[in-house]
Amino acid sequence: MAAAEDGTSPPRGRHRHRAQPRSSKPEPSQPEPSRPEPSRPEPSRPEPSQPEPSRPSPPVRAAVTAAQLPGEFGGPGGAIRPYTRPIVERAIVERATDGHAAGGKAADGQAAGGKVADGHAAGGKAAGGKAADGQAAGEGAANEQAFGEHAAGEQPAGEQANGHPNGRLAAAGIRSDTLPDWRPEPGIFDRPASTDAVPQARPARATEASAVLKRLLSARGWPLALVLAIQAVLSLRLVWNATAYIDEGLYLSVGHLELNHFLHHAAMPNVAGFMSGSPVVYPPLAALADDIGGLAGARLLSLAFMLIATVALHAVTRRLLSSRPAAFFAAALFAWLGTAQFLGAFATYDAMALMLLALATWLGVRAIELEDGLRYTLVCGAALCMAAADAAKYAAALFNPVVIVAVALAAWRADGRKVGLDTVGAMVLTAALPLTLGFDLAGSSYGQGITSTTLTRAEGTATVREVLDLSVHATGIIAVLAVLGAIVITARRPGWTTVLVAWALAGAVFLAPAEQARIHTLTSLFKHVGYGAWFACVIAGYLLAEFPALLARLSRTAGASASGARPRWALLAGTAAGAAVVLAAGAFGVTVANGQHDTWPDSRPMIADLSRLVRPTGIYLVEDPNVVTYYLRTKVPFGNIDDTYVFDYADPRTHKTLINDPAYADAIRHAYFAGIVLAFGDTFATDQLIVKDISQDNTYRLVNVVPYRDSYGPGQYQIWLRVSQPQRSEKSKRAGHRHRKR
C-alpha cells in the first residue's frame, strides 16, 4: 500500500476508509457530537496516557500514514500493524501536538499551547492536510467503515521493533486487543454528510429509535442472560421426560461403585477396560448428584456444564472478534442447538468434556491480553483443562488441535511468532505431563479401554451417506454458516493469522463426521458433532453479526446513498435477519432433541416387574444391562448382570471358553442364568437366537411381557425366569464378564 501523500488510500486501522482524491478547497467534515476531545499533553514532553486495561481510550485519528511513523509501527506496504494500534494512536497525538501532523501545521491556527482541532479547521489553515477525528481530508470524504472490517497488516516473522522482539514496545507498556476491534462506530450506518450544504438535524423520532437500538445492542448483561435462560428451559423440559438411558445407567452405576470403593473400601470391578472415559473423573461427580437429586440431579449437573460452555463461547467470541453482537449470535446458535439441548439433559461425561474444552479455549484466549507471567499461568491452566477433558472422555482429544491452533494463532496475531510458538509448546507440554503420569499410574486396563473404545474402535456397518445425513440433521446449519463466515473473513484479507483462526474454528464441525465415516459407525455421533459445533459457532455468529454491514455495502453499491435512501434500514434488516436465523435454528433444534430423546423406551414398568423377581445371588442376562444395574443396584450386584452385546462362557464339562452366540446357547442349556430380559432392540438378531435356544429346553418360562414404544415404533420386554435350580460347580462359572463398549 502506498503512502497517503502519493494519492492512494491511507493506512487501514481498526476500520477501513476509502481514499479520496485531494481537493484544492477541502470542505469541513461533520464532527461526531458524542466523541470526547482528546486530552492535551504537555508541549515540552508529551507523555502517552496509559489506557484502562478493560476499556481502551477512543483513538484519535489523523491524516498520518504508516510511512510517516517509525519503522516498528508500519506494516508491509505502509499499513499500520493492528497490534501496534494503541502506540500508533499515541504517536499521532504527539505529532499533532508538536505541530507536525500531516505535513506541518496543526489546524485551528496553532492555538496557544498546542491544541489539536477535533475534525474542524475552525480558525486557521492546514498546510498539507488537517488532523481530523476519524475523517480523511478532501471533497466528499465518506467513511467506508463496515461492521467487521479490520487492518490487513501482519507482522513479519522474527521482526524486532525498537529493540524489542515481535513488535512490542516495552517502554509504552501497552497491550492491544487480540484481534482488531470489529464493533460498529457511532454513525456507521448514517448517510454520509453532504459536502455542499449544512447537514440538517434528523427527526427526533428516528434519532431516538436509533439510540435505543444501539443501546440494546451494546448492553452487556441481559442478552447473554436471555440466551442462558432459554437454553435452561429447553433442556429442563427433557430432564424428567424419560428414564435412564443405557449410557446414563453405566456411568451412574460406575460412579456409585467408585464412591463405595473410596469411602468404604468396597471391591471395585475392572470397568476401565470397556469405558470410553476415565471412571474416576465424571462418574463420581454424577453419582454425588444422583444421591442428592436422583437421575434428575445428575442431568441438572450436565445442564450446569452446558451453561458454562455457552458462557465460555460468548467470552471467546467477544475477545477473538471484539464484537458483542457476534458473541450474542454465537452463544444463541449453540445454546439452542438440538445437540446442546440434548446434552443438557443427558447424564454422561459429554457435557463435562465439552465444558472443559470450552474453558480451555477461553483461558488461552484470555491469557493473550496479560503480561508474560500471568499469561503463561493461564496458558498452562488451559492445557490442564484440555487434559481433564481428554480424561473425562477419550474422544475429546480429537478437538485438542483446534484449541491449540486457535489459541496459538491468536497469540501470534497479537504479539508475534515467538509468542505464538511458545504458547504451542507450553500447552502441549503441560497437557502431556498429567496424561502421561495418569496413564502410567492407572494400569493396563486404561490402555485397553482407550484402545478398544477410541483408537481402534471396531468398524460398524453404517454407510458414509448415513453418517453425513445424521451430521447434517444435527449441525448442518452451523456448518453452512461457519463456512460462509470464514469465506467473508478471507475475502476481507485481515491477515493470514486471522484467516487461519477462522478456518480452524469453522473446520472443527467436520472432524467428528469425518472420523466416524472412516469407521462406519453412528454410535455417539449425535453427541460428538456438538463438540465441533461449539467451535464453529464462533464464526457462524460473526456472519450473522455481519448481516447489517453486508446489506449496507450492497445499498452503497446499488447507489442507494446517492438517491437519498437512508442505509439505517440495513441495521434493522440485518439484525432482524440474524435473529430470524437463530430462532429458526432453535425451533428446529427442539425437534432434533425430541427425536433423539425418544430413541430409548420407558423402562419403569419393566424395572417394577423385575424388582419383584430378582435375587441377590442370581445371574441375569439383560439386553439393556446398565439400566437394571442403576435402578436395582441395591438388590443385584453390578457383576451379576450380563448383556446381549458381548458374552463369554466356560463350559463346565469341556472347560472350553465360548464367545457370544455359542456361549449363550451353552449357558442356557446349563441353566446358568436365573433370569433373562429381552427387548428386541439393538441386538434383535441375538435376541431371536436366544429365544430359539430357550424353546429347545424347558429350563425357562416366560413370566411377563411388558409393552413399550420408542422412536422406532412399538416393542415389548420379555422376562424369562429359570424354573429349576441346577447344581453349579466352580468350573461352570463364566470366564469373564463384558459390557457393551460405548
Residue with cell 504537555: 42
Nine-digit cell at 399? Answer: 478437538
How far apart, in whole angstroms, are the C-alpha atoms of residue 106 and residue 115? 8
Give the pLDDT confidence score for residue 373 in this predicted structure: 84
Whether the Cβ atoms of residue 83 and residue 155 lie closer than 8 Å to each other = yes
Domain termination residue (choose one: 71, 104, 135): 135
| Domain assignment present for 272 | yes
Whether the Cβ atoms of residue 46 and residue 184 lie closer than 8 Å to each other = no
Apex 433 CA angle, 274 and 281, nearest 5 = 40
Residue 393 burial (CB count, 10 A): 30
Share above pLDDT 90 across residues of the chain, in percent, rounded to a whole number: 53
| Domain assignment present for 181 | no
Domain termination residue (choose one: 86, 109, 135): 135
On whether both 53 and 111 belong to a single domain, the answer is yes
> Cα Rg for the chain, rounded, in angstroms?
32
How far apart, in whole angstroms, are the C-alpha atoms of residue 544 and residue 326? 7
Give the pLDDT confidence score for residue 456 in this predicted structure: 84
On whether both 543 and 405 belong to a single domain, the answer is yes
Residue with cell 430432564: 239
On whether both 567 and 638 belong to a single domain, the answer is no
On whether both 543 and 612 belong to a single domain, the answer is no
On whether both 492 and 351 belong to a single domain, the answer is yes
Q: Indicate whether this model's pTM tops 0.75.
A: no
Could you read off the pLDDT of 426-451 as tens digits, one per residue?
A: 999 999 999 999 888 888 889 888 99
Could you read off the pLDDT of 565-574 as tens digits, one per residue?
A: 446 778 888 8
On whether both 684 and 703 belong to a single domain, the answer is yes
Helix axes 324-335, 222-239, angle to 10 degrees: 0
Range of the domain at 258: 231-455+463-597
- Taken in order 198, 203, 207, 208, the sign of the CA dihedral is positive
Nine-digit cell at 590? Answer: 427442539
| Domain assignment present for 446 | yes
**pLDDT beneath 50: ranges in the chain:** 1-88, 90-91, 93, 95-203, 206, 560-566, 726-742
Apex 587 CA angle, 585 and 590, nearest 5 = 110
On whether both 570 and 610 belong to a single domain, the answer is no
Give the pLDDT confidence score for residue 452 in this predicted structure: 87
Whether the Cβ atoms of residue 400 and residue 390 lie closer than 8 Å to each other = yes
Give the pLDDT confidence score for residue 535 in this predicted structure: 97
How far apart, in whole angstroms, are the C-alpha atoms of residue 393 and residue 282? 9
| Domain assignment present for 14 | yes
| Domain assignment present for 497 | yes
What is the H or E stretch that residue 442 is in? helix 417-442
Q: What SS3 class is residue 106?
A: coil
On whether both 662 and 579 belong to a single domain, the answer is no
| Domain assignment present for 207 | no
How far apart, in whole angstroms, are the C-alpha atoms of residue 81 and residue 86? 10
| Domain assignment present for 738 | no
How far apart, in whole angstroms, are the C-alpha atoms of residue 732 and residue 655? 8
How far apart, in whole angstroms, are the C-alpha atoms of residue 363 and residue 383? 9
Give the pLDDT confidence score for residue 567 in this predicted structure: 65
DSSP string, 10-34: PPP-SS--------SSPPPPPPPTT
Cα–Cα distances in Å, from 251 out to 208, 387, 644? Answer: 56, 20, 19
On whether both 564 and 617 belong to a single domain, the answer is no
Give the pLDDT confidence score for residue 204 in this predicted structure: 52
Domain termination residue (choose one: 557, 572, 597): 597
Give the pLDDT confidence score for residue 494 in this predicted structure: 86
Distance, C-alpha 228 to centroid of its chain: 15
| Domain assignment present for 449 | yes
Q: Where are the beta strands (DSSP E) in 63-132?
A: none
- Total domain count, the chain: 3
On whether both 267 and 401 belong to a single domain, the answer is yes
Give the pLDDT confidence score for residue 210 in this predicted structure: 55
